[in-house]
């Protein structure tokens, strides 16, 4: 039970596709953290024992939903000696050790708290070392500490030598072992499944490896069938037309990152008979690639392989977003947090990048991070909008993000999750990193 709330005098930024803004509104939240009434402030009724929040001059948005996050690091660049192939194996061994699990659990708690304090009230974590995020989710649900709503994948599913292996992946090289790994994750309590359909940028060892198909359609089909039998959505890291097409044919529900779309891909996004709900969606993530491409190599220290792969994948991803908009494909928002240059408090930058680089309108970008993500993750009856019967997941801002910029989310006046109020949201920032990102 929470203290009932009456938020009055607010300007509501609804998060719809047209950018609707409603002035002088009130929101009533019951003792269960559920929105009981929304309407003109002049018509709001008194709730005995309720806390009254005067939001005059402030803007209220739905809580942000981060549909693609990792929680095992803070986003600060790693020193060069930590990115070598031999070092990565040592890091993987540590991450999977008892001490590593303690460290990762502590990092996860810090990461979800930081995202919450920056306005993210729901997170889908897609790729963890083991099941530390499951434990953190259970602790939040048990009321041990205040945190966002968590959808958790556990380790992603990859092939030998594939993207994410061995640090954050279970490995298989045939459909039956792939199916077995789904069962292992489900038995550990995950509520999402993530697969690596193609190679990635940061762990590529050759130019052109990012986006190269890795997992076969047959392997992905087995994964999707097993996950869908349990009612769980499947996300696929996929960064090329060939990889995305195979993943969609297999029944993947969300394509992470993306690439330029052809007609078959568009049709499969709209009508995907193997997917859980008959359609699939695109979750672009511009934040990891843009700094690698736009910042000088004297600052990033990336090698030619990473730079070339980053440039190719970024161009494909931006083309994919534009194609998705042109063909009315469902688009969500994810940050790929924890990767280099993607901090847990900079979700607003992803929205900003979608507007400046992928030509989304500010309204469409906010919609992707709220109402669209809620529908994509099958949470549309729970969160994503400020409506009666939805969870009171809200962010109070000093400025209108649609007209004054998404940087408004960098310093929210208040964050509310399931009716619980954070009065003075605080995060630990990395000033040197932020200064670099501000130059993009």
The Cα–Cα gap between 392 and 56 comes to: 19
The Cα–Cα gap between 394 and 64 comes to: 8
- What is the predicted pLDDT for the residue at 81? 45
Multiple choice CATH, 64-376, 3.40.50.10740, 3.20.20.140, 1.10.620.20, 3.10.129.10: 3.20.20.140
Render pLDDT for 369-397 as a digit per residue (tens, 0 to 9): 999 999 999 999 999 999 999 999 999 99
With contact defined as beta carbons under 8 Å apart, do 195 and 157 qualify? yes
The Cα–Cα gap between 354 and 351 comes to: 5
Q: List the structure tokens of 432.
A: 């040197």
The Cα–Cα gap between 187 and 310 comes to: 36
Instruction: Give the residue from 255, 421, 230 showing the smallest Cα distance to 324.
Output: 255
Render pLDDT for 155-212 as a digit per residue (tens, 0 to 9): 999 999 999 888 899 999 999 999 999 999 999 999 999 999 999 988 878 888 889 9
Q: Where are the domains of the chain?
A: 5-62+384-431, 64-376
Q: What is the CATH number of domain 5-62+384-431?
A: 2.30.40.10
The Cα–Cα gap between 311 and 396 comes to: 36
Query: What residue spans of 13-57 are helical by DSSP H?
Result: none
Render pLDDT for 91-142 as a digit per residue (tens, 0 to 9): 777 777 888 789 999 999 999 999 999 999 999 999 999 999 999 999 999 9
| pLDDT at 80 > cutoff 60 | no
Between 83 and 57, where is the model more confident? Answer: 57
State whether residue 344 is helix, strand or coil.
coil
Q: List the structure tokens of 80.
A: 């060069």
- What is the predicted pLDDT for the residue at 85? 61
């Amino acid at each position: 039970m929470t203290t009932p709330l009456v938020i009055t005098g607010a300007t509501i930024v609804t998060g719809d596709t047209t950018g609707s803004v409603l002035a002088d509104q009130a929101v009533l939240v019951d003792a269960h953290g559920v929105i009981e009434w929304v309407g003109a402030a002049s018509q709001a009724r008194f709730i005995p024992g309720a806390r009254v929040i005067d939001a005059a001059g402030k803007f209220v948005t739905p809580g942000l939903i981060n549909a693609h996050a990792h929680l095992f690091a803070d986003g600060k660049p790693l020193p060069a000696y930590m990115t070598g192939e031999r070092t990565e194996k040592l890091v993987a061994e540590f991450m999977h050790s008892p001490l590593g699990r303690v460290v990762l659990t502590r990092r996860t708690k810090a990461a979800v708290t930081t995202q919450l304090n920056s306005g993210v009230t729901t997170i889908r974590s897609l790729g963890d070392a083991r099941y530390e995020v499951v434990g953190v989710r259970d602790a939040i649900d048990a009321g041990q500490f205040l945190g966002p709503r968590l959808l958790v994948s556990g380790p992603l599913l990859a092939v030998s030598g594939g993207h994410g292996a061995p640090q954050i992946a279970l490995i298989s090289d045939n459909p039956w072992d792939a199916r077995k790994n789904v069962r292992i994750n489900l038995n550990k309590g995950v509520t999402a499944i993530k697969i690596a359909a193609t190679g990635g940028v940061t762990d590529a060892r050759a130019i052109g490896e990012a986006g190269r198909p890795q997992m076969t359609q047959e392997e992905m089909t087995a994964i999707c069938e097993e996950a869908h039998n349990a009612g769980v959505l499947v996300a696929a890291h996929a960064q090329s037309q060939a990889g995305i097409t195979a993943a969609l044919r297999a029944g993947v529900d969300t394509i992470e990152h993306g690439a330029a779309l052809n007609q078959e891909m568009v049709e499969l996004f709209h009508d995907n008979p193997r997917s859980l709900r008959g359609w699939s969606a695109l979750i672009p993530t511009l934040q990891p690639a843009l700094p690698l491409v736009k910042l000088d190599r004297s600052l990033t220290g990336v090698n030619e392989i990473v730079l070339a792969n980053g440039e190719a994948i970024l161009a494909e991803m931006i083309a994919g977003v534009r194609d998705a908009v042109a063909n009315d494909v469902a688009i969500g928002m994810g940050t790929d947090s924890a990767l280099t240059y993607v901090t847990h408090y900079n979700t607003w930058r992803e929205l900003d990048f979608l507007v400046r680089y992928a030509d989304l309108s500010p309204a469409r970008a906010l919609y992707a991070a709220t109402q669209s993500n809620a529908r994509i993750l099958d949470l549309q009856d729970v969160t994503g909008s400020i409506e009666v019967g939805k969870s009171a997941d809200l962010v109070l801002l000093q400025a209108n993000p649609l007209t004054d910029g998404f940087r408004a989310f960098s310093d929210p006046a208040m964050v509310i999750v399931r009716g619980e109020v954070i009065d003075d949201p605080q995060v630990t920032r990395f000033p040197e990193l932020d200064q670099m990102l501000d130059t993009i």
